[in-house]
């Protein structure tokens, strides 16, 4: 195994004072450049989170190996134990910093000398009542981390594993109920003549919320197996969510598109002056910035060749954090758009998950030890009884160039197919490549997915939704 990575000392030396300055400036009542002092603090905590995770992972690795939380890298030639479950360090740093962050937006500290006339913003950054919501989210994150750690420790079976995020989402749901949160959904224009503009989902809304957290968690967990891919997904998705949130905050300039006026400090971005929308996206941003920090920190050590593995813990807590941002920010439909590659991967996997096509224990690409390149891995069908459903599904997928079939020339029967994952599709399309090249392509796919998501959300959605965004 290559030696541990170290952050250049110069970077640590410059990042630490920067983060502390951002955190302490509002405390010292220095004039703030931003309209939102708590957001400045949050950014400081995000940088601190990155520095902390980058330094803690190599420092604690040995302890994880000693406690049995270790694994070997299946796509390498060496056999050294690599610390597993490093998502636990991310989660600990993330939750601790979010806890220390509590007084900044929620105490009356900043309310005193604030300009209350700023459009879209109440006195202080945040309504005091939202504290309970914020705390319920922290409880859900901690519960998800705990359950992730238990999963890593006890190796829980798949059928028990799938509903685990539902348990972790209970605090979120309970407080949502106690606070009498919205349970309505705004319908697209074509459906309105039938159901009205707003539909009251009632208890179904709670089912929807818990399914969303299950989806986010498992979506990240399923697209896994090569260095950097789990934490990379979480990083790009949280960056996309943060970017989307930023569109709704007060802008330092005003943009004119034809007759439309967008943003500006008084128009509060795409929120068009709606205090509620600003607050929701601010809350989401408070969760996302430190998440980006910890994910970037882990990425530094998990990038090819990995010195640390994220473990299920990472998927659980990042999935829950992203879901909570979407739920509490009331933009769950937009959030799902950022999971386009995961949804594609899940749909593609379905024939194997539901055993229409046989599913080997591991569907990882195969390492060719001579060329050190990854190749597609295959499911062996030669000993399976014939099935016309299976053949139909595989023929369709092969026609879409999503799997490569091997056919027995004599009998015409399909004897093998490449495993149905996005990783194998990329290897099929672009040919054998190194693990690093593959993870780069997955990340580029994720970025392309996010770009598509923004086009759909702010281009296409205008055709079926009006400005009504309750």
Give the residues lining the site for a copy of itself (CB under 8 A).
Answer: 63, 66-68, 95-96, 99-100, 102-103, 106-108, 131-132, 135-136, 138-139, 142-143, 145-146, 149, 153-154, 167, 170-171, 174-175, 177-180
What b/e string do you get for 10-37 counting C-beta neighbours within 10 Å, with b at 16 or more? eeeeebeeebeebbebbeeeeebeebbb
C-beta of 313 vs 334, nearer to a copy of itself: 313
Name the nearest CA neighbour of 423 among 229, 291, 179.
229
Nearest approach, Cβ of 109 to a copy of itself (angstroms)? 9
C-beta of 248 vs 317, nearer to a copy of itself: 317
C-beta of 317 vs 331, nearer to a copy of itself: 317
Nearest approach, Cβ of 100 to a copy of itself (angstroms)? 7
Name the nearest CA neighbour of 310 among 68, 94, 95, 90.
90
Nearest approach, Cβ of 290 to a copy of itself (angstroms)? 15
Query: What is the gyration radius of the CA atoms in the chain, in angstroms?
Result: 24
Kindly give the interhelix angle for 311-328 and 170-178, rounded to the nearest 10 degrees: 20
3-state secondary structure of 432: coil
- DSSP string of 262-296, one letter each residue: EE-TTTTGGGTT-HHHHHHHHHHHHHHHHHHHHHH
Nearest approach, Cβ of 37 to a copy of itself (angstroms)? 15
C-beta of 157 vs 361, nearer to a copy of itself: 157
CB 345 within 8 A of CB 442: no
**Residue 360, C-beta contacts closer than 8 angstroms, at least 6 positions apart:** 377, 379, 380, 419
C-beta of 55 vs 441, nearer to a copy of itself: 55
CB neighbours (10 Å) of residue 390?
19
**Residue 310, C-beta contacts closer than 8 angstroms, at least 6 positions apart:** 85, 86, 87, 90, 230, 231, 298, 302
C-beta of 63 vs 406, nearer to a copy of itself: 63
Nearest approach, Cβ of 332 to a copy of itself (angstroms)? 22
Nearest approach, Cβ of 323 to a copy of itself (angstroms)? 17
Nearest approach, Cβ of 220 to a copy of itself (angstroms)? 21
d(CA 71, CA 89): 16
Nearest approach, Cβ of 154 to a copy of itself (angstroms)? 5
CB neighbours (10 Å) of residue 451?
12
d(CA 223, CA 285): 25
Nearest approach, Cβ of 89 to a copy of itself (angstroms)? 11
C-beta of 146 vs 452, nearer to a copy of itself: 146
C-beta of 106 vs 300, nearer to a copy of itself: 106
C-beta of 69 vs 423, nearer to a copy of itself: 69
Residue 367 main-chain phi, psi, to 5 deg? -90, 125
C-beta of 178 vs 347, nearer to a copy of itself: 178
d(CA 294, CA 297): 5
C-beta of 149 vs 426, nearer to a copy of itself: 149
- DSSP string of 29-56, one letter each residue: TPPPSSS-HHHHHHHHHHHHHHHHHHHH
CB 82 within 8 A of CB 57: no
- DSSP string of 357-382, one letter each residue: S---S--PPEEETTTTEEE--EEE-T
**Residue 235, C-beta contacts closer than 8 angstroms, at least 6 positions apart:** 292, 295, 296, 299
Nearest approach, Cβ of 171 to a copy of itself (angstroms)? 5
CB 64 within 8 A of CB 308: no
Name the nearest CA neighbour of 288 among 246, 322, 337.
322
C-beta of 62 vs 380, nearer to a copy of itself: 62
Nearest approach, Cβ of 250 to a copy of itself (angstroms)? 24
Nearest approach, Cβ of 245 to a copy of itself (angstroms)? 23
Peptide bond into 305 cis (omega under 30): yes
């Amino acid at each position: 195994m290559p030696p541990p990575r170290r952050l250049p000392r110069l970077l640590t030396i410059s990042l630490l004072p920067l983060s502390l300055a951002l955190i302490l400036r509002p405390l010292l009542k220095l004039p703030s450049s931003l309209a939102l002092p708590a957001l400045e603090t949050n950014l400081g905590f995000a940088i601190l989170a990155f520095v902390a995770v980058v330094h803690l992972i190599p420092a604690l690795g040995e302890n994880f190996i000693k406690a049995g939380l270790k694994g070997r890298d299946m796509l390498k030639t060496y056999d050294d134990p690599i610390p597993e479950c490093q998502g636990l360090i991310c989660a600990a740093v993330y939750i601790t910093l979010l806890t220390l962050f509590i007084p900044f937006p929620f105490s009356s500290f900043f309310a005193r000398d604030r300009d209350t006339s700023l459009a879209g913003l109440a006195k202080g950054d945040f309504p005091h009542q939202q504290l309970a919501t914020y705390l319920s989210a922290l409880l859900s994150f901690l519960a998800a981390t705990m359950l992730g750690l238990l999963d890593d420790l006890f190796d829980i079976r798949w059928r028990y594993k799938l509903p685990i995020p539902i348990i972790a989402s209970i605090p979120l749901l309970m407080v949502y109920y106690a606070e009498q949160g919205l349970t309505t959904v705004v319908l697209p224009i074509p459906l309105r003549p039938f159901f009205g503009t707003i539909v009251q989902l009632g208890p179904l809304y709670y089912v929807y919320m818990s399914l969303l957290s299950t989806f986010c968690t498992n979506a990240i967990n399923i697209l896994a197996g090569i260095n950097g891919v789990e934490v990379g997904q979480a990083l790009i998705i949280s960056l996309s969510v943060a970017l989307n949130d930023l569109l709704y905050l007060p802008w330092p300039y005003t943009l004119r598109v034809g007759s439309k006026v967008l943003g500006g400090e008084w128009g509060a971005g795409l929120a068009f002056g709606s205090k509620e929308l600003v607050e929701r996206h601010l809350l989401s941003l408070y969760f996302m910035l430190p998440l980006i920090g910890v994910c970037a920190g882990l990425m530094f050590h998990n990038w090819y060749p990995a010195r640390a593995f994220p473990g299920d813990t990472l998927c659980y807590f990042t999935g829950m954090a992203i879901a909570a941002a979407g739920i509490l920010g009331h933009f769950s439909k937009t959030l799902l758009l950022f999971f386009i590659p995961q949804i594609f991967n899940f749909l593609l996997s379905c024939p194997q998950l539901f055993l229409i096509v046989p599913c080997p224990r591991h569907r990882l690409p195969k390492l060719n030890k001579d060329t050190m390149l990854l190749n597609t891995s295959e499911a062996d069908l030669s000993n399976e009884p014939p099935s016309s459903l299976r053949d139909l599904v595989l023929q369709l997928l092969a026609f879409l160039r999503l799997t490569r079939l091997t056919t027995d020339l004599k009998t015409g029967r399909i004897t093998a197919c490449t495993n149905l994952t996005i990783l194998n599709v990329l290897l099929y399309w672009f040919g054998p490549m190194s693990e690093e090249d593959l993870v780069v392509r997955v990340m580029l796919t994720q970025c392309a997915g996010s770009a598509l998501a923004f086009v759909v959300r702010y281009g296409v959605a205008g055709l079926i939704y009006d400005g009504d965004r309750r």
